[in-house]
Structure 1
Amino acid sequence: MIIRERPTLGQLFFILRGSVLPRIFPQILVVMAMSALIVWGHREAPQFVPSVAGAPFALIGIALSIFLSFRNSACYERWWEARKLWGELLAVSRHLARQSELFEQRSESAGAARRTILLLTAALADETVKFLRGGECPNNSTARLLAPDVAAAVRAARNPPSEIINRMSRELIALVNGKIISDIEFTLLERTVTRLSDAIAACERLRNTPVPFGYTLLIHRTAHLFCFMVPFGFADVLGLVTPLAAGLVAYTFFGLDALGDELEEPFGSMPNDLPIAAIATVIEIETRSMLGDTDLPAMPEPVDYILM
């Protein structure tokens, strides 16, 4: 996610970090080059490269803008829902750390169980990042914080976050069976663990259910066809300025299209995606600080204005 102050007017046209321009620049160059060829061909051989009235392009552009705004709204809704889910993970992790204090002083085994549960919570956030993004866990919390046999079992599971949730529930069951916590306390804590599971399941739903492909394909095709055809409508009216105008149109439509692609996958690693690895680090810091640990990771900071 881009973390920076609002640019000044002088900086506005030179910012590339976080912009979609690097992704769409080749397409814009193709449109501008094609526009230049069309203008040249219309002047040198108008019988082969005719001009077209611009009114239809205005109507098509308005319709395409509406369709793009609908898609971008749907993609932003996915991005915002994902952010709320990770806010839920952070908040519920804090609740669990606070609620588990009720059996901290009851016995040595209860204190050990609380530590195990909170370390599992920290590892859960990190494993969820890996589960949603692929690759390795960014903070390596599972290997650092959990016992070797537990870490190996988590890594071997088909769904590591689910395996961690199950282990947290088993710790609570052992506490209630050992009469260390009451049935009411168990219900309270189990409900909190269930909220963690629900948030992760909702993230999995978002990851596995993209915007319908047919709708996305229609927008992609229409945007490209419009940008490649629009120079024919500008050639007579704008003349030599046509490549610049066509490039501006291409930047707008291709940019909206590319931005929608980024927002559609909120758990990815593009500059405008969510900083879920940073949130996982904050969860580890807060849960382990409740245990009194001091060897905590540093608070996440943006690198080149990007927080991942």
Structure 2
Amino acid sequence: MLLNKKISIFTFLKQIKFDIIAILIYAIVVGIADQYGFLSKIEIPIAVSAIIGTALSLLLAFRTAQAYERWWEARIIWGAIVNDSRTLIRQVKQFVPKKDADVVKEFAYRQIVWCYALGETLRKLSYSKKVYDYVKEHKIPKNNVPNSIMNQHGAALSKLDIGDFKQVQIDSTLSRLCDAMGKCERIKNTVFPKSYSLLVHFLIYVFATLLPFGLKDEYVLVEIFLTALIPIIFIAIERTAIILQDPFENVTTDIPMTTLATTIEINIKELIGDDDLPFQEKPKTFYIM
């Protein structure tokens, strides 16, 4: 997730470098040809470019809004995971008799691993040592590790002799965690319609193609500058939306699942009196993961 820090412009420009190169080459070639060459007689009313630019602006506005909505929904889900993880261990700690303190620790460590496993699964990364060791020790099926760990929570809950009412309360918390996991999987597995992306990208290049023939020809440098600048702005907006629309892709704009999982681990271990807390480094860059 991006932080409120200065971001290097070159980091973003690398995302659209090929589009920038293509548009710059086109702007220079067409600008010179339109000024001194065989294209000088071609004129297209600027109103045509204006109509396409207006339609393109509306499409990009919708695209950006939908992309941010997906990202924000993912952030809300992980905020709920943080809260429900704390609630789960607090409930278990309160409801389970003190003589069964080991049961509380089992729930706590299982929930910690679940948070890391969910983030790493969504990003399709190899499991960290903490998750790998737990999976190996407890012989957890690797098809869907977070779901298997949640099933262990349920099995352990069914064995607790704490009364039906208290079991229902804990089960309600587990259900919310399971619901959050399903929502993350839905966002991860639902791609933004490719046809919409192709339409927007196509219109940007149509706009860039027609634009120089509607501009005045007195100053070639001004024509080249405008022919390149306006389409590049549209490309930049489109790329911003593309980056935001997938919040679990292990890029700088991701939801900070690893950082949140570390926060959950610290909070849970403090709840159970475990002093072996992970060290959470302060961010050294403009983003956290």
Shorter-chain TM-score: which interval?
over 0.9
1:305 corresponds to 2:286: yes
Give the direction of change, closer, same or farther, for the CA distance of 1:243–1:60 in structure 2 (3 Å limit).
same
Partner of 2:175: 194
Partner of 1:10: none
Q: Show structure 2 runs of 5+ residues with no match.
A: none
Segments of 4+ moved more than 4 angstroms: none
RMSD: 2.1
Residue 187 of structure 1 deviates from its aligned partner by: 0.6
Give the direction of change, closer, same or farther, for the CA distance of 1:126–1:34 in structure 2 (3 Å limit).
same
Partner of 2:119: 129
Partner of 2:106: 116
The superposition leaves residues 142-201 of structure 1 with CA deviations (integer Å, 9 ceiling, x where unpaired) of: 245x48421xx23x42111100000011111111xxx3x111111111111111000000
Distance 2:135 2:232 in 1: 52
Q: Show structure 1 runs of 5+ residues with no match.
A: 8-13
Q: Tell me if structure 2 keeps the 8 A contact 1:31–1:243.
A: no
Q: Which residue identity lines up with residue 4 of structure 1 in the other structure?
A: N
Partner of 1:142: 131
Partner of 2:153: 168
Residue 141 of structure 1 deviates from its aligned partner by: 2.8
TM-score with structure 1 length normalisation? Answer: 0.87
Q: After superposition, where does 1:34-53 map in structure 2 within 5 Å?
A: 34-46=26-38, 50-53=42-45
Q: Tell me if structure 1 keeps the 8 A contact 2:23–2:232.
A: no
Give the direction of change, closer, same or farther, for the CA distance of 1:47–1:199 in structure 2 (3 Å limit).
closer
Partner of 1:16: 9
Identity of aligned residues (%): 28
Give the direction of change, closer, same or farther, for the CA distance of 1:136–1:166 in structure 2 (3 Å limit).
same
Partner of 1:225: 206
Give the direction of change, closer, same or farther, for the CA distance of 1:194–1:47 in structure 2 (3 Å limit).
closer
How many equivalent pairs are there?
289
TM-score with structure 2 length normalisation? Answer: 0.92
Q: Tell me if structure 1 keeps the 8 A contact 2:84–2:177.
A: yes
Residue 105 of structure 1 deviates from its aligned partner by: 4.0
Counterpart pick for 1:58 among 23, 26, 50: 50
Q: Secondary structure at 1:80's aligned position in 2?
A: helix
The superposition leaves residues 68-96 of structure 1 with CA deviations (integer Å, 9 ceiling, x where unpaired) of: 10011111110010000000100100111
Give the direction of change, closer, same or farther, for the CA distance of 1:149–1:42 in structure 2 (3 Å limit).
same
Distance 1:71 1:248 in 2: 21
Q: Tell me if structure 1 keeps the 8 A contact 2:35–2:220.
A: no
Distance 2:192 2:256 in 1: 21
1:182 corresponds to 2:163: yes
